[in-house]
């Protein structure tokens, strides 16, 4: 019998064995770095710390009524942040979502007032569901225009969406003509357009409708990113657009669709917000784009694209919401609230950059070590 035909000795398996299973398990356990775990889950760690600190500072912070209020405010930001996540995963940015919220609210308010029919003196009053659909469609249209200019003409996302921010805010002022729309939102029984507040300002099972919409959209976004080809295309194009294009990914269509999704999310928030404050105002949605970007960044997404999750984005939105509410409850000045929130955003971006630098250095060290090992083996 030759050496190659000799029977191999079976590897012992059991709690006292020193086989490869136990060795690999031990090596994996040794490789667990507490610091890296904390960095990866920094959004959740920050959320827990914020809740713990403000719960100690105020007895009312964890009051059920206050938690419902926080959830309602977080839901608005989280819904917009989900659309922003899609854009940032592609390496883009959308600064127009806040003005889209205001424009959507103004469109809905004017639809409740009625539409003057041309060539007649008649006024058409749409049903509530028609008003909602048309208002969200306006948000989708704004997103489509953004995506078209960015994907087809290859204009910079920052410039396009910044310009659309001014366009949307200006159209909102034109539609409202300096007046808030309040009483008309309730509709009239004789016209059959009532029930808006009963639906969009309701609280099923004790939670505001905005929270349920947030949950539904988060589930849909998770399925879209994890279970669908579109999600794989989005991550691929965000990581390396040229390589994705050469691999057959429809980069142009993906880029257009993500801005439409962001516009739809902003339109939904516009409808929910006018139900929340019972009026359509010119300043509705201001700074929403900044809070959405902050939620996505705090949640661990990379502004360069290709990295980010729905779970992290939702946690990031809760971090901002719980922090803002806690600062109000303990009586911090509104000016200092902005300073603290901005500092948290800068810290989140700094931690992300430090993490990426550490990963690149680690990868370089491993590559050098492997090259030296291979050279020694060849020698």
**357: which residues sit within 8 A by CB, 6+ positions away?**
none
Local confidence pLDDT in tens for the 379 residues of the chain: 444 444 444 444 444 444 444 445 444 444 445 555 555 577 888 899 999 999 998 888 889 999 999 999 999 999 999 999 999 999 999 999 999 999 999 999 999 888 777 767 777 788 889 999 999 999 999 999 999 999 999 999 999 999 999 999 999 999 998 888 887 788 777 777 778 888 888 888 888 999 999 999 999 999 999 999 999 999 999 988 889 888 889 999 999 999 999 999 999 999 999 999 888 898 898 889 989 998 998 888 888 888 889 999 999 999 999 999 999 998 888 888 888 888 887 887 787 778 778 777 888 888 888 888 888 877 7
- The pLDDT score that the predictor gives to residue 10 is 47
- The pLDDT score that the predictor gives to residue 37 is 52
**181: which residues sit within 8 A by CB, 6+ positions away?**
106, 109, 110, 112, 113, 279, 280
- The pLDDT score that the predictor gives to residue 372 is 84
**350: which residues sit within 8 A by CB, 6+ positions away?**
none
- The pLDDT score that the predictor gives to residue 33 is 53
DSSP letter (8 states) at residue 117: P
- The pLDDT score that the predictor gives to residue 201 is 84
Q: Give 127-135 contacts, CB < 8 A, sequence gap 24+.
A: 127/192, 127/193, 128/187, 128/193, 128/194, 128/195, 128/196, 128/199, 131/193, 131/196, 132/108, 132/271, 134/107, 134/108, 135/104, 135/105, 135/107, 135/108, 135/111, 135/267, 135/270, 135/271
- Return d(Cα 10, Cα 8) in angstroms, integer: 6
Tell me the torsion sign for CA atoms 279, 283, 285, 287.
negative
* Cα dist from 121 to 30, 126, 127, 316, whole Å: 79, 16, 20, 51
- Return d(Cα 16, Cα 75) in angstroms, integer: 52
* The two three-digit tokens of residue 293, written as one number: 């970007």
- Return d(Cα 52, Cα 63) in angstroms, integer: 13
> Contact, 360 vs 88, CB < 8 A?
no
- The pLDDT score that the predictor gives to residue 138 is 95
Q: What is the 3-state composition of the chain as percent helix, strand, coil, each rounded to the nearest 5?
A: 75, 0, 25
- Return d(Cα 193, Cα 208) in angstroms, integer: 22
Task: Tell me the HSE value of 322 on the side-chain side, using a 13 A CA sphere.
Answer: 23
14 φ/ψ sector (left φ>0, alpha ψ -120 to 50, else beta): left
- The pLDDT score that the predictor gives to residue 358 is 79
- The pLDDT score that the predictor gives to residue 38 is 53
Token pair 């600190």 is found at 53
* Cα dist from 85 to 179, 184, 225, 295, 374, whole Å: 34, 35, 11, 9, 42
- Return d(Cα 356, Cα 352) in angstroms, integer: 6
What Rg do the C-alpha atoms of the chain give, in angstroms?
Answer: 26
Interhelix angle 334-378/42-57, rounded to 10 degrees, is 150
- Return d(Cα 294, Cα 316) in angstroms, integer: 8
Helical spans, DSSP H, in 278-333: 288-298, 310-329
Interhelix angle 209-227/310-329, rounded to 10 degrees, is 150
Q: Nearest Cα to 185, choosing from 285, 281, 117, 280? A: 280
């Amino acid at each position: 019998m030759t050496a190659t035909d000799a029977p191999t000795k079976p590897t012992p398996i059991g709690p006292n064995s020193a086989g490869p299973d136990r060795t690999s398990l031990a090596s994996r356990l040794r490789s667990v770095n507490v610091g890296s775990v904390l960095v990866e889950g920094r959004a959740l760690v920050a959320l827990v710390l914020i809740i713990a600190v403000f719960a100690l500072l105020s007895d009312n912070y964890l009051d059920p009524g206050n938690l419902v209020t926080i959830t309602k405010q977080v839901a608005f930001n989280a819904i917009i942040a989900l659309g922003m996540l899609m854009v940032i995963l592609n390496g883009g940015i959308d600064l127009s979502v806040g003005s889209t919220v205001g424009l959507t609210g103004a469109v809905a308010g004017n639809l409740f007032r009625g539409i003057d029919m041309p060539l007649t003196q008649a006024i058409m009053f749409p049903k509530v569901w028609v008003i909602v659909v048309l208002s969200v469609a306006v948000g989708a249209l704004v997103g489509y225009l953004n995506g078209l200019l960015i994907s087809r003409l290859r204009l910079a996302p920052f410039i396009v969406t910044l310009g659309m921010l001014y366009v949307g805010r200006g159209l909102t002022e034109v539609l409202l003509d300096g007046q808030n729309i309040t009483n008309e939102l309730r509709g009239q029984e004789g016209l059959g357009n009532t029930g808006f507040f009963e639906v969009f300002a309701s609280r099923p099972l004790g939670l505001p409708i905005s929270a349920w919409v947030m949950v539904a959209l988060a589930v849909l976004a998770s399925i879209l990113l994890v279970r669908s080809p579109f999600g794989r295309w989005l991550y691929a194009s965000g990581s390396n657009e040229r390589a994705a294009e050469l691999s057959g990914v429809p980069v142009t269509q993906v880029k257009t669709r993500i801005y439409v999704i962001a516009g739809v999310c902003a339109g939904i928030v516009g409808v929910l917000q006018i139900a929340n404050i019972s009026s359509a105002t010119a300043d509705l949605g201001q700074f929403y784009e900044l809070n959405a970007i902050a939620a996505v960044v705090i949640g661990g997404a990379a502004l360069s694209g290709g990295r980010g999750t729905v779970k992290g984005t939702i946690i990031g939105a809760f971090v901002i919401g719980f922090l803002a509410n806690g600062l109000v409850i303990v009586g911090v000045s509104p000016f200092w609230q902005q300073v603290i929130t901005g500092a948290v955003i800068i810290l989140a971006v700094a931690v992300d950059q430090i993490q990426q630098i550490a990963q690149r250095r680690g990868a370089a060290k491993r590559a050098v070590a492997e090259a030296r090992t291979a050279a020694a083996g060849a020698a």
